[in-house]
Structure 1
Amino acid sequence: MDKLCSIIIRTKNEEAWITKCLEAVFEQTYKNIEVIIVDNCSTDTTIARCKKFNVKIVTINEFFPGKAINLGIEASKGDLICCLSAHCIPTNNLWLENLIKPLEDKSIAGCYGRQEPTSNSSDVDKRDLLLVFGLDSYIQSKDSFFHNANSAFRREIWNKYPFSNISTNIEDRIWGEEVISNGFKLAYVAESSVFHWHGIHHQLNPERAKNIVRILDTIPRLRTHNNLKNLKHTSYCIVPIKGTDVTYKNLPLIKKTINCLRKCKLINKIILSTDINNQIDLSDLLGLETVIRPSHLSSPQSSLEDVLQYTLASIESKGDYCDSISVAEIIYPFRENEVVDAMIQTMIDEPLDTIFASWREARATWFGEEGDLTMLGGTSWVIPSTERHGQIITSLIGYFTIIRPVNVRNKNIFQGQIKTHSLKNRNSSFVCRNQNEYDELSNLLLKL
């Protein structure tokens, strides 16, 4: 094969690497080449260094990775196209010859080569490059992984399948998916290797990873969204009550909480956690499993974590296990079952430890004692703009909180990955601590 190969190199302030990269390129055994530099407004000496070599320079002002490659190809003449990162250095003079060799097979749309870490690459990058880019070459007929830091393809393929001009990341993977979906193959060429100092995952930058996953989720075969929807998630809800709550007058308030929870599609079991065993036979009256906890867990010194830990231990001692455990107090009689289901669904969909209901408070909120108050936050117009500190999130733990069982066992329900679910209906957050308060509030709401 002696066709002209156009090598496209994208640059942006690459003075530390571009000379080494171009020196290695022009030392290749495959001599029929042209080099196109696509520069994104470098402010260092990148361009001055490039001009010391026989290269063509084009400029891109609004950078998108695929758009830069397309622009470089449009300025080139070769039947073969090679993409090389400006901070990738071919490891030997057979790099290009080995890289383009599989393109003699018309069923192969593109090739990509090995990437080796440098001695000063981070341990994260060394691990990723060594695990992803192995020592054996292979052909991909289903896997669309492709990497433009070190790649090659025929111009005739690019004419049919140019790179995305608008994708902010992984233009190579999108292109790989397109050619694989149209019946072509991809070749990994381990014998065509480059040194790549920063690896392929950019130091595990979370924002970059989030954006890449968003793009990957647009590819049907690679989409991760809702791939757990067919797996069973067992969710139990604990309703903690004290003996003082359980009177025949307050029973309708308790029943209202239970009825709301029974409407929830994602709650598998409701458990009453109480400190009484003879005032009212709740188990028979409400048809629920009941856990009788020690009286000291109702003292002022005890906490919600203590009650939940004891109740969960009692449930699990019977060989009954769940994937998430939640708590709902009876003091929220206007609780909405749709909110509860939405919160459980969030726990299923996201890697969280705890989710609690909340209300976003815009009014000025203060902390401290009279005469020594500090404003915590607020966005109300009555607050001077220079003193607005943002909204305060008020937790409504008893409205509904859902937790991973391990956090309940360890009594650290507010540690780890925590998220809030902000209520939209303020009325649903009204608190009634007894039936009289509920009756009065209900009558008031009817008059509005």
Structure 2
Amino acid sequence: MNKLVTIIIPIYKKEDTLASCLETVINQSYRDIEVILINDCSPDRCLEICNSYSLKYEFIKIIDLKENHGVSYARNQGLAIASGGYITFIDADDAVDAHYVRDMVKKIGEADILMTSIYRDYDGDVLEMTRYEAIDYIYRKDGYEGGVVGKLFRKEVAIENEFPVDIKIGEDAYYLFNCIQKSNKCIYYKKQLYHVRQSKYNSGNWMPFEKIYDTVRLLDYIIRKTNDTFGRCPQSAYEALFERSINVFMRSRYKDVPNEKKKRIRENIINYYKRFGIKGLPARYAISGITYLLFPTAYANVIYRIYIRS
């Protein structure tokens, strides 16, 4: 097995964090790596920073896109030229431990996908999971792990799938889900090796409703495909759909939501209560769901005002 690890980093408006991110990458204890930087026509100093590192380190490659296409297109360009037997994704505003790559390669064994903890540190155990268990785990309340960062993919699985360019929020969850569907074995390494940070620019802020609604569309797709494959779907995915349906109104005024989408959101909330009741739901979501069903306009407008002031 080719033990070269390809690290794919899409870049757009990250000049404030890019250099510190790359420092954690070039200082990896595991040296058999190639780093692909995709500059998505960033208008700041990102390309200049990329060039300064590529001049120093021959394992760094740069793809300089002449038009801005979005993170999905950028990651797909990285996948297209990846040489490694394994692939991992890092965001340009995040950081990784010095042994990030080494520990993942050491632990992955015969699995197609290794997932690490992103938001909290555990005991370092390794859990072998079926595909169904992996889908459940990435949506569990004890730490949402549904993106592509903090994971190691065997190349054959990684390149068999593409990031969807028509989904602006949740594209990484779509990709991860399809990789899990194509995998033979997944494992979860309960160790925090990847650290999520926040840059000044966040591509998820202030998007039109239809882009925000992508998260609801995505979970509808995942639940449908999981039911088709396994004849059932874990409660965690339904709960994620419930929460995303509620959270749509954090970034949308009620009047901006099309009537058919309001109907769909209402159905998602009612269907969850019918299927599972309120047991296990965080109190804020249980209360929010009931309040929305009773007073949708007032609830949505109040939540939106609170969000835009925060």
Question: For 2:16, what is the secondary structure of its paired residue?
Answer: coil
Q: Which runs of 5+ in 1 are unaligned?
A: 116-128, 233-347, 356-413, 419-448
Aligned residue number for residue 85 of structure 2: 79
* Contact persistence 1:95–1:192 (CA under 8 A): no
1:80 and 1:229, CA in 2 relative to 1: closer, same or farther beyond 3 A? closer
1:103 corresponds to: 108
2:216 matches 1:213: yes
Residue in 2 aligned with 1:51?
51
Q: Secondary structure at the match of 1:7?
A: strand
Aligned residues between the structures: 228
Change (3 A) 1:352 1:22: same
What SS does structure 1 have at the residue aligned with 2:82? coil
Shift of 1:80: 1.4
Q: 1:163 maps to what in 2?
A: 163
1:352 aligns with 2:293: yes
Deviation at 1:183, TM superposition (A): 5.3
Alpha carbons 1:112, 1:189 under 8 Å: kept:
yes
Q: 2:249 — aligned with what?
A: none
Distance 1:135 1:88, change over 3 A: farther
TM-score (norm 1): 0.44
- Residue by residue over 1:387-424, the C-alpha shift from the partner in whole angstroms, topping out at 9 and shown as x without a partner, is xxxxxxxxxxxxxxxxxxxxxxxxxxx95458xxxxxx
Q: Does structure 1 residue 112 correspond to structure 2 residue 118?
A: no
The structure-2 alpha-carbon separation of the partners of 1:417 and 1:58, relative to structure 1 and needing over 3 Å to count, comes to closer
Shift of 1:113: 2.7
Q: CA deviation at 1:17?
A: 1.3
**Would the alpha carbon gap of residues 100 and 172 (structure 1) be closer, same or farther in structure 2, given more than 3 Å must change?**
farther
Provide the C-alpha distance between the structure 2 equivalents of 1:230 and 1:154, rounded to a whole number of angstroms: 35
Q: 1:63 aligns with which of 60, 69, 72?
A: 69
| Per-residue deviation, 1:230 | 9.3
CA distance in 1, matches of 2:198, 2:147: 14
**Aligned 8 A contact 1:112 1:147 in 2:** no
Q: Report the CA distance between 1:204 and its aligned residue.
A: 11
- Distance in 1, matches of 2:123 and 2:162, equals 29
More helix by share: 2
Q: Rg larger in 1 or in 2?
A: 1
1:193 is displaced (CA, Å) by: 1.2
Deviation at 1:84, TM superposition (A): 0.7
Q: Could you give the per-residue CA deviations for residues 60-107 of structure 1, whole angstroms, max 9, x where no partner exists?
A: 43424332212012123222111111111113x2111112334331xx
Separation in 2, partners of 1:153, 1:229: 35
| Paired residue type of 1:59 | D
Q: TM-score, normalised by structure 2?
A: 0.61
Unaligned runs of 5+ in 2: 139-145, 227-236, 242-263, 275-288, 302-310
Residue 174 (structure 1) aligns with: 174
Look up the equivalent residue of 2:14 and give its one-letter code. Answer: E
Matches within 5 A, 1:286-435: 351-354=292-295, 416-417=299-300
Q: Deviation of residue 212 (structure 1)?
A: 1.2
The amino acid across from 1:73 in the alignment is L
What CA distance in whole angstroms lies between the structure 2 residues aligned with 1:151 and 1:19?
22
Q: Which has the higher strand share?
A: 1
Once the 2 structures are TM-superposed, how far is the Cα of residue 37 of structure 1 from its aligned partner? 0.4
